Amino acid sequence: MNAKENALAILRFGQPERVVGGLPCQGLSYFGVDHESLDGDGGHHLPVGRQWTDIWGTTWHKEHEGVMGFPRGHPITCLSDLATYPWPDPDDERLCARIYTQASAAFDRDTLFLSGSHRDTLWEKSYMLCGMERMMEWLLCEPQAAQEILHRIMDFQVGMARHYLAAGIEVAHCGDDLGTQSAPLLAPRLITELFAPEYRRLFDLYRAHGVIVSFHSCGHIEPLLPLFMDLGIDCLNPIQATANDLTRVRRLTQGRMALQGGISSGLLVGGPAAAIRAEVRRTLWTLGREGGYFCSPDQGMPWPEEHIQTFREALDQWGRYPLRPESIALTEN
């Protein structure tokens, strides 16, 4: 099996040869997906201390080396702003042209998926526009206004999806962090009533064209798993190890939704190597013994090189089918 065939076997709960870290992709992105500034002087690559305003009018501050900036200024601060706010146009050549330029680059289509990014798909984009507390308040006290904001954001995402489809993508990367360490960030009722219809617009469009939908959501997301599966998400990440019961997550999703992640980022930062190896063995068995699992850290961080190398070596050693439970793996070490 090549990398693409193996990934498809994982997604379909088939018979892959090995567990890998994720879908092998050649990525496309519209200009602004990573919070770039239209004036060309913005982005998370800037040095600590820099500020910029992205294509949505959100002001960002770069505060920590190796970590993305933080949204500190919001263009929609009162409901009257909705009447004059200039919503970005997905057909603006300055934003969408990059998709087609990137798609024209040569790559191995036999082994790589062509993918498109919808970073900050809905919830995160809404609080970047309005501020988190303000958006939470409007969801409860001004639901019609909140719904208008969500709908206009998704209008943009659906419009950009049509460009990705025209470019021929096979995987759509979407995501919103909907969990805290111990519970969903928003009431599941609000997510079901206000967010799910908007997500469905985007996901149904992709599913109608046979595109794989990958969704990122940090934190405790166990109560949302039935909704995610109902929405037709094919692969969910990062399955934060310290915020979820991994055994329960796998039981609820087995055969219905692939998982990616599950390896504690805190452990990968702090080590030691023996604990990292044991974590990889245990998580491979818990989440992957019947397929449907991509093994990776549950957050992206600037890892100590020796720790991430230990993770990679353990995955290569123990991530080959048929998988074996940790008790057997330990006796064979």
253-291 tens-digit pLDDT: 999 999 999 999 999 999 999 999 999 999 999 999 999
* 331 pLDDT above the threshold of 80: no
Output the six-digit token pair for 20: 């890998």
Q: What is the pLDDT of residues 203-255, one digit of tens each?
A: 999 999 999 999 999 999 999 999 999 999 999 999 999 999 999 999 999 99
The set of residues, in sequence order, having a beta carbon less than 8 Å from that of 317 and lying 6+ positions away, is none
Report the pLDDT value the prediction gives residue 239, as an integer from 0 to 100: 97
Cα angle, residue 251 at apex, residues 177 and 295 outer, rounded to 5°: 60
Q: What's the DSSP call for residue 259?
A: E
Report the pLDDT value the prediction gives residue 40, as an integer from 0 to 100: 84
Mean pLDDT of 10-22: 97
Looking at domain 23-47+77-237, which CATH architecture does it have? Alpha-Beta Barrel (3.20)
Q: How far apart are CA 167 and CA 175, in angstroms?
A: 21
Strand runs (DSSP E) across 45-125, as ranges?
51-53, 59-61, 70-73, 113-118
Q: What is the pLDDT of residues 166-178, one digit of tens each?
A: 999 999 999 999 9
Q: Where is pLDDT greater, at 302 or 330?
A: 302
Letter string b/e over residues 233-259, b meaning 16 or more CB atoms within 10 A of that residue's CB:
bbbbbbbbbebbebeebbeebbeebbb
* 327 pLDDT above the threshold of 80: no
Give the lowest-confidence range in 82-86, 232-236, 242-246, 322-326.
322-326
* 332 pLDDT above the threshold of 60: no
Report the pLDDT value the prediction gives residue 221, as an integer from 0 to 100: 97
* 329 pLDDT above the threshold of 60: no
Q: How far apart are CA 296 and CA 298, in angstroms?
A: 6
Do the bridges between strand 59-61 and strand 70-73 make them parallel or antiparallel, or are there none, so unpaired? antiparallel
**Residue among 208, 270, 203 nearest 236 (CA):** 203
pTM, rounded to two decimals: 0.95
* 16 pLDDT above the threshold of 60: yes
Residue spans per domain, the chain: 23-47+77-237
**Residue among 313, 272, 275, 270 nearest 295 (CA):** 313
Task: Name the average pLDDT for the chain.
Answer: 96
Tally Cβ neighbours within 10 Å of residue 86: 8
Letter string b/e over residues 312-329, b meaning 16 or more CB atoms within 10 A of that residue's CB:
eebbeebbeeebbebeeb
